Amino acid sequence: METALARALNDLALIRRRAALDVSNAHMTAIADLGKALLAFKDAIEAAITVDTRDVNALRAGLELALLQLIAVLERSRRRIHELDTAQQTRVQP
């Protein structure tokens, strides 16, 4: 009886460790995916900065494209990233 109890407790501890590892891996994967998605946005902003043009419309079109890329990244990660409503003027409490 004690052996069965000890085995069950060991199994439970193993399940807890595996679950914690799965959660940790999921967090790391989510952060890596977000980072990869933000790289395209960063590249678009850098391209807009380095373009040597006096055409404001071309610069605006490039920035609008970068904004669309950022919006797409935020939409894909909507569960984790939320836009703040600045009209409410609420302060975030730590």
pLDDT of residue 34: 84
Instruction: Work out the burial of residue 62: count CB atoms within 10 Å of its CB; fewer than 13 is exposed, 13-18 middle, 19 or more buried.
Output: middle
pLDDT of residue 16: 96
How far is CA 41 from each of CA 1, 6, 50, 52, 79, rounded to the nearest angstrom? 61, 53, 14, 19, 20
Whether 72 has a pLDDT exceeding 90, the answer reads no
Close Cβ partners of 77 (under 8 Å, ≥ 6 residues apart): 30, 34, 37
* pTM summary value: 0.57
Whether 10 has a pLDDT exceeding 90, the answer reads yes
Among the listed ranges 9-13, 19-23, 49-53, which one has the minimum average pLDDT value?
A: 49-53
**Residue ranges of the alpha helices (H) in the chain?**
2-50, 56-76
**pLDDT 10s digits, 30-67:** 888 888 888 888 888 888 788 777 888 888 888 888 88
> Which pair of structure tokens corresponds to residue 76?
């894909």
> Which pair of structure tokens corresponds to residue 67?
């904004």
